[in-house]
Each structure stands twice: as structure tokens, then as C-alpha cells.
Structure 1
């Protein structure tokens, strides 16, 4: 009986986001010996932007897993090998695995197929990655051994190593190096735009904004499951929590925002009694749809969008290179969400063009997807303004930090019954506090005050100013 010749196919960590260089393997869905088919999800990974499930692009039998769960892997590194176009792995076929020289020749003869799940396509040319600090410098296979041991150890598959960093030191002036250290940025990962390849301050800010997932404050609703993090026990000693993935990107984004944009925050207390009655009426009547979720956050979002339509200058970005203010043509409304892996800010594309019912549907889908940890990186890019709902935690107000690249962020505080002067009498009314932070380079005090007052006025009289379809 002849054994059909098998060939090994290697699946490398793809670029699951635009310009990301590494990802952490959260869980494997397969093990050695399992049969997989083209398009089957084999693992889940977490990047600085989101958790993503990876489908494998060919059919065969899993030969080896190269990294354990929890390992951080560079983009382009082999993470799994699969025996394709043949029978299941057999102990008597050690020659089935291609020799390193043959594999290199095959790759040279045929262009490499590089999987890009999210973004604009594969990057061409060599890619430069940050040097690994300590562990996992060489990816040792960690797969569960097959039932039948191989008769002779084949050369250990070596994942594609990161591009070696040369001894050349990145060019940057001392103040820029100090800023990079403060922001936690490796200069070797930054693309220089200055003369003769010198890295500038603008390059650092652009790099931080590109890789960051901004998250100003926990909002929307808490995730269904708590974050998987070490639990501190009083009297049990110190607990160290690794900062990586979304949490690391959040920290970098907040530092970049705080040191780049001059923040101004204004506050206003609002009688939202009519808004709360309006919410109850919409829930009971089903005017927006039978399965549509209606909440006070929905009306706050619509009020903000209405105020932006009247004051479009606040929906803007600062172009450092051109020294221009760019007033955006559409509003991509970010809603900060607390998830088990940290705080993320997915956004509703072109939210300003949606009716109240359409906005309610989009908001519900955004919340559900974030709770499940399935928010795609593309859904967290391109935001222009953000709402952070700190009220769900019983917090009255705060000074939210801007998402990098945005001009304004609105904090929605808890709604409380308070004594309030209404029609000349002190009566109990439902009151909330709104806080609007804005970039003072783009938004002056007059514009910021007009927008905040407009939002407050809409929430005081929602039926008069909000329309829907």
C-alpha cells in the first residue's frame, strides 16, 4: 500500500489591522491531528485594536501549532502548519515534510500568499518590527504531540523571524527622543518624514494615533463577563497586571491626546424629565420598531448630532502637517464601550444622516458587538466625535480626554431626582450633568458653549427638536 505524498502548508500571522506588527493568541480552536477546511476559524487573536478570529486558507490536517495560548507573535510569523493534499500524518513518512532548501525554492518560484483580513491589502517590501524584549525570541513549537511519535526528529520548523534591527540608531533630536520615551514609542517603529530621515514630533503623534484605540472612559454598558485579569486580594501582596493589547494602546492614546491637544471642559446641569418620559413612551409604543432598543443614551446621541448639524465646525480635525483645520463632511459617532479586554470606541459611520430609528438600530448593534468582543478594527477607525456614558456607573460627571484626532467628546452623567425650580416652584425633577471636552486649537469657548447649550436645550424639550422616521 502506497502512501500519498503530503505537503506542508504554513499559515503565518496575518496583518489583522492597518500597520499592526504583532498579536496575542487568545485561544486555539484546533489541535494537531484535527482536519480543517478552507475558511475554518482556527484561533482567536488580540491586537492593539480588537479581538479577531483567524480563518485558515487551505484544507488539510493540522500538523503543528507553533505557539501556546497567551503568546505574542509578530505579523508574518508561522503559527500553524497543515498537511494538505494527502492522508493524515503517518509515522512512516518522515520524508513528507519538505526540506528547508526545497521550501525556500518553492517560495522563490511562487509569490507568497499573504493573508490580510482587515485593511487595504498586503504591505509590499520588507517590514520593520520592534525588537522583542526578552521572551519568545525564537518560537519553539508548543503543539500537543501526535499519538504516534515521529521516528526521527525533523528540523524544528522555525517561524519567520522579525527583521533584524541594524546597529543604525534612528535619527531624532533629543526632545523628540524624550517625547517618544514618555509616549512609550519605539523610534524604530516610526516612519520618519523629516529631512534625511529624521523623526519629528509630528511623526510620533501620527504613529501614536495610527496604532491607538482611543478609549476615554468606560461607558455604554458593562460587558457580560469581567475582564480576565489578576485579582488583588487585600493583605496578599502586590499584584502585577501585564499591559498589552487594547489596554496598552489605550494608555498610549491617552498620553498622546493629553500632551497634544489643549483640553477645555465645560459642564451644564440639565432637567431631563421630559427626555426620560419620552424614552418611556417610545419603549411602550414601539414607534421605532418592535425589537429596537431605546435608552436615554439614544436621545443624548441624537441631541449631539442635531447640535453638530447646527454647528458643523465642531466636527473637525487638526492637520498638523498642513497647519489646517479639517471640518469633516460626515459625523462618525464613537460610543466608548467597556469590554473584558479593555475600553474601546467603535463608531457609527455617517451617524448624522440617520433617523432616530436608524440610529437606535445602529447603536444596539454596536453595543451587542462590543459586548461579545467581536468589534472589527475597521469599526474603531475614522471616528470624529465621541460620547462616554459614565452615568451607567452612577458617576455624575468627569473631564473626558479626547480621542486622538477628534475635536470633542461628550460625557453623559447619571440621571438623578433632585430638587429643581420648575415653573416657579421647587419640585423633584430628573437631572443630569453633561460635560463637553474640546480641543481649544479647533474649538473656541463660544463654539463649545453653543454646542453644549444646544444639546442641553434639546434634552429639555426632546419632542420639539427631535424628529425620526
Structure 2
């Protein structure tokens, strides 16, 4: 005989010891029936937006947190009404231990994907394959005492969570993110009237702006930073936005890097006309048909080649062991501006890739980052990074190192300029390279020679033959 019980799901550590996450959106509502490992929410960690699968199969009894709320790891976020054996609980519960034979194996508690398989009555693992992994939840935290039904009632009485109101059904709440809802509120837009053009009907900033002004609504600089402007007529002279999520993590990492590693930045302006001509030929060739090729693609390949002769730029300073760690592989980081802030996902083992493979990896990386779907694993383990500030029309800068890396290269805009060419002045395509490096690891000579080799390849791609 079985009875229903209430199970609480506590927010797990989603990787690398993160202490909190923000509830971005619920994918279920109170009363919904969910399956094991069904996606129930999107949460934003300090590094990325992650889909959260259900650890139980049952009915959603309560949602304890509203979208936009920052929740500490270990705090209950949702309760489920699940079927359980009468007089006992799942593995780890006191009732199960007392009510079962001493030699009988305990039934396993349902867990998140990656926490362990769950056995159904058929004896087969009931889990759906997903690319999601998380550290194990302690049994004491994952299996709270069950709430059983009174004798006269076939179902348990669900106590409401104090001071927490259950959110409306998903069908009643337009799908959008907290920054978009803030923008809509400031512009007086009812999101229920807006059609979302994002993934799965997600309402984006552009959808809100287009609804107001047919796409011609001016965008204020504050809005681009995720802060909606306030007019003087509103009676408020400033707007405050909580520092959290990706922006909070990025700020802490950049401050730590700036005040830990002694930065040096060198600049080199290069005539990249031959590289741009090569790019045009590759785009027109049948071998590269369907591939997205950009100046970043060719510069990335040149960086990977130059590192072979200058491995010190692909290393890190290990303060704890007082050692310099030189990598024999390259995880190439690419800085990406997303609606939630700057992220630097990296391409694993980029040094092994052909130009075609690198092009595919770069396209996938940027598309995933813009969609806010970058996994935490893709944001760690980088060895050297590139940031393309040229897409914003900027010529040069002093990029801050990604923590744990020895160098970062900033690509400036490609501009047509008068330039010395074959002892004459000609209109050429020119780019400025800005290389920042950790002076503890990289001497001025080493940084200069790396930059010089990189410039030589971009000004004359045929030089690659002399370097490989």
C-alpha cells in the first residue's frame, strides 16, 4: 500500500562551489505533474544560465521562490507531492530503516541527472540522457521527513509556505527575463500583449521596444547595460540595480585579476589587407561553403600557431605551490558580450583544430553565449583569451586578463587608412592588436616577439609556412 508524501527540493551547488543562484523562470506551475529529470526551472549562476531538472516524479505542491529571486544553495525552492511506501520513506529515511528487513536493500531516492540512476519497479534505471552534471546532494538534505495523510483522508494535507505566495500559472505569466520585465514596466508595456520572438516564445528587449515604437524606439546607454532609465517626471533621480549573477562574478574576477597580476599592454598596428583578401577567397571557395568565416577566425588560428613558438603566453602562475604551470594544450577563450554581462567561454583543445573545425566551434560558442545557454564547464579551464572590441568600432584597449591566464589579445576594428605600401602611400586595411600579459610569467621580449609573429602572419599569411 502506498501513500503520498511531500518532498522538498533544495537548490543544489551547480558547480565549482557556487553559493547562490537566481531563479530566472519556472517551467512548471503548482498542480503540474512532472516526470523525473523534466526541466522545471532556469537558474542563473555566477557564470551561466542552467536548466534545472526535477529530482522527483510527482505533482508540484508549491513553488517557494519567485522569478528574479536570488536563492542560497541548500534552500528549498519547490515541493513535490510524490507516491511513497506506506509507513516508510525512500533511502536514508528513518522510517525505511525501521520498517524494512535488516538485510533488504534500501530503495534509492530519486536524484538529478548526474547524481545517480534511479531504479523503477521494473529494475531499470529511469533517467533521461542529458548533458547536465552536478555534485551529489547529501541524503539528509535530499530526503526530508515525509508528510503523511490523516487516517480519514486519502491524501496529505499540504501546509502552505509562510510568507511565500505561489506564482501564477505559466500560462498566465508571459515568458521573459527579469531585465525585460523591468524594461516593460518602465515603458508601460503589458507583456501579455507582446509576442515573443526568442527561443520557445521568449520575450526579448527588442520585442518590447518594437511593441512601443515599431522598432524605432531610441535606446539609452543605461538600458544597454541592463538598467532602464528614469525620467525626471517620475520623481526619481537615480536607478539602482542589484549586483548579482554574471555581472557580480565578472566584477569580482576582474578586480582580483587587476590587483593580483602585474599587467603590461603592448600595441601593434598591422596592415591586414592580405588577410582580408584571403578571407574573401576562403568565403568564395567550395570547401568553406556554409561556414561562417570572420577576421576573428583567422586571427584565432594565427594565435594558435604563434603559441607554438611562444608557450610562456599559454601558462599560469600557481601561487599556492609557487610554480609556473605551462599548458601543453590550448583552451582558447573568446570574450562574449551577453544580455547578462561579459562571459569568456573557451574552445577546448583548440590547438588540435583545423580552420574548418575552429570556424564551427567559434560559431557554436558565440550562438550559445548569446542565447544565454553556456554551460559552467565551458567557462572554466581557459588558457589564453581573445576579445574582439573591433565589432564595437574600437581600435585599441587595455584588456584585463582572465583570472588564471597569462595573456589576452584584443582585436581592433579593421579600417581603411592611408598606409605605407611598397614605398608609396596607399589605402590599406589596418588593424591594431592590443596584447596584455602577466609580467610575472611573460617578459617584455617574449610578449613583443609573440605580437611580432602574430602581426607577420596577418600582414602576410604566407609566413605561416615559415612558422609551422
Question: When the two structures are superposed, what TM-score results if normalisation uses the length of structure 1?
Answer: 0.72
Aligned to 1:298, the other structure's residue is in SS state helix
Which residue is 2:309 aligned to?
310
Query: Could you list the per-position Cα deviations for residues 243-272 of structure 1 after superposition, in whole angstroms to 9, with x for gaps in the alignment?
Result: 101000111001100110000000000001
In the TM superposition, what are the counterparts of 1:232-381 in structure 2 within 5 Å? 232-233=229-230, 235=232, 237-288=237-288, 290-381=289-380
Which residue is 1:391 aligned to?
390
Question: When the two structures are superposed, what TM-score results if normalisation uses the length of structure 2?
Answer: 0.72
Aligned to 2:455, the other structure's residue is in SS state helix
* Greater Cα offset, 309-318 or 387-396: 309-318
* Greater Cα offset, 52-61 or 400-409: 52-61
Residues 259 and 116 from structure 1, CA distance in 2 versus in 1: closer, same or farther, beyond 3 angstroms?
farther
In the TM superposition, what are the counterparts of 1:220-239 in structure 2 within 5 Å? 229-233=226-230, 235=232, 237-239=237-239
Which residue is 1:143 aligned to?
166
Q: Residue 232 of structure 1: CA displacement?
A: 2.0
Contact 1:8 1:98 (8 Å CA) reproduced? no
Contact 2:26 2:42 (8 Å CA) reproduced? yes
In the TM superposition, what are the counterparts of 1:37-436 in structure 2 within 5 Å? 37-85=35-83, 105-106=94-95, 115=112, 121-122=135-136, 140-144=163-167, 229-233=226-230, 235=232, 237-288=237-288, 290-436=289-435
Higher relative contact order (CA closer than 8 Å, sequence separation 6+)? 1
Aligned to 2:14, the other structure's residue is in SS state coil
Residues 82 and 302 from structure 1, CA distance in 2 versus in 1: closer, same or farther, beyond 3 angstroms?
same
Query: Could you list the per-position Cα deviations for residues 350-391 of structure 1 after superposition, in whole angstroms to 9, with x for gaps in the alignment?
Result: 111111111111111101110110000000110000000000
CA–CA distance in 2 between the matches of 1:230 and 1:107? 52
CA–CA distance in 2 between the matches of 1:373 and 1:462? 35
Q: Residue 121 of structure 1: CA displacement?
A: 3.1
Aligned to 1:365, the other structure's residue is in SS state helix
Q: Residue 141 of structure 1: CA displacement?
A: 3.1
- Structure 1 residue runs without a partner (length 5+): 87-95, 128-137, 147-222
Which residue is 2:128 aligned to?
none
Contact 1:7 1:97 (8 Å CA) reproduced? no
Q: Residue 115 of structure 1: CA displacement?
A: 3.9
CA–CA distance in 2 between the matches of 1:354 and 1:415? 25
Residues 463 and 358 from structure 1, CA distance in 2 versus in 1: closer, same or farther, beyond 3 angstroms?
farther
Residues 462 and 256 from structure 1, CA distance in 2 versus in 1: closer, same or farther, beyond 3 angstroms?
same
Residues 139 and 293 from structure 1, CA distance in 2 versus in 1: closer, same or farther, beyond 3 angstroms?
farther
Aligned to 1:246, the other structure's residue is in SS state helix
Contact 2:53 2:112 (8 Å CA) reproduced? no
Aligned to 1:456, the other structure's residue is in SS state helix
Which residue is 1:177 aligned to?
none
Q: 1:9 aligns with which of 7, 10, 19?
A: 7
CA–CA distance in 2 between the matches of 1:433 and 1:97? 72
CA–CA distance in 1 between the matches of 2:31 and 2:227? 34
Aligned to 2:316, the other structure's residue is in SS state strand
Residues 421 and 21 from structure 1, CA distance in 2 versus in 1: closer, same or farther, beyond 3 angstroms?
same
CA–CA distance in 2 between the matches of 1:68 and 1:99? 32
Q: Residue 124 of structure 1: CA displacement?
A: 6.6
CA–CA distance in 2 between the matches of 1:258 and 1:126? 41
Which residue is 2:219 aligned to?
none
Aligned to 1:400, the other structure's residue is in SS state coil
Aligned to 1:58, the other structure's residue is in SS state coil
CA–CA distance in 1 between the matches of 2:137 and 2:410? 38
CA–CA distance in 2 between the matches of 1:98 and 1:429? 81
Residues 124 and 449 from structure 1, CA distance in 2 versus in 1: closer, same or farther, beyond 3 angstroms?
farther
